[in-house]
Amino acid sequence: MVLLNSSAHQIYWLGRYLMRVQFAASHLPFTQDEEATNFAAAFGLVIENAELLNHYMLDKKQTFSLLNQLVIAKDNIQELRGILSSSAYAELNNVINTLQGQPEILRRAVEKCTQILEAENEDVGLFLYLGQKIEQFDIELRFGQDLSALVSELDVLVQRLGGLDWENIDQNWQVLKHQFTWDAYYTFTQQLENMFEV
């Protein structure tokens, strides 16, 4: 299979969306207003009520809701139809089509999607994992968590990308891995985006 840049891009973003949903779903339902406020604030939202945030996170009308994130993931899957095996596409399609707005079901759906995609082939797995880890970096940076373990994992991925002649990203990666700043993060991810367009 020849993996196109555009397909790799779709897989990368699919990985990001799946990670985003998995992370948020793992926090639902919020029971404390303070916890909800902090969570919302990390994503630039001013929602100071746990019940309200729980509602919004599963409300299709809200662009940031988990269900909407999965709608976007479904679009990514559609775009990948030419490269996914028919069984993988069918399974993914079925998982997404039968989703319900319950955190536990969402978590299981994301896990299932990840398993299906990881089983496809090495290149698909690489870009899926890259998307997941970049999203995780984004999340952990937002919440001020310790990034050292994640940096080690990303180091390996960046080296693998170098094997595809993507070594252009290495310089900005070196900056980011030593400076956990939004500027360094945006510079690196923007360069990654550019690589999909080359």
Partner 1 sequence: MSEQEHELHTENDFFIQEQTTKALINPTSFLEHISVQTNLFEQLKSQFFNEMLDDVTSNGAASKKIEQWLSIRTLDELKELNAQAKQHFLYHGITFNVYGDKEGTERTIPFDLIPRVIEKKQWEKIASGCAQRVKALNYFLDDIYHGQHILKEQLIPEEQIMGNEAFQPHMLKHSLKGKIYSQISGIDIIRDGEGEFFVLEDNLRTPSGVSYMIESRKISQQLMPELCAANNLQGIEHYPKLLKEILQENSPADLPFIVVLTPGRFNSAFYEHAFLAREMDVPLVTNRDLFVENDQVFVKTIRGRQKVDVIYRRLDDDFLDPLAFRPDSALGVAGLMSAYLQKNVVIANAPGTGVADDKSIYPYVDQMIQYYLGETPILKNVPTYQCRKDEHLDYVLSNLDQLVVKEAQGSGGYGMLIGPQASACEIEEFRKKLIATPHMYIAQPTLALSVAPTLTTAGVAERHIDLRPFVLSSPYRTEIVPGGLTRVAMQAGSLVVNSSQGGGIKDTWVVETLHS
Give the interface with partner 1 as residue ranges (CB under 8 A): 1-8, 75, 78-79, 81-86, 89-90, 93-94, 123, 127, 164-166, 197-198
Yes or no: say if 129 and 48 are a contact pair by the CB < 8 Å rule. no
**With respect to partner 1, which residue has the nearer C-beta, 2 or 46?**
2
Give min distance, CB of 93 to partner 1, in A.
4
Distance CA 193, CA 198 (A): 9
Q: In a 3-state reduction of DSSP, which class is residue 159?
A: helix
Distance CA 130, CA 151 (A): 12
Residues ≥6 apart with Cβ < 8 Å to 30: 36, 39, 50, 51, 53, 54
CA nearest 135: which of 146, 121, 115, 150? Answer: 150
Give min distance, CB of 82 to partner 1, in A.
3
Give min distance, CB of 77 to partner 1, in A.
9
**With respect to partner 1, which residue has the nearer C-beta, 39 or 127?**
127
**With respect to partner 1, which residue has the nearer C-beta, 88 or 184?**
88
**With respect to partner 1, which residue has the nearer C-beta, 37 or 132?**
132
Give min distance, CB of 74 to partner 1, in A.
10
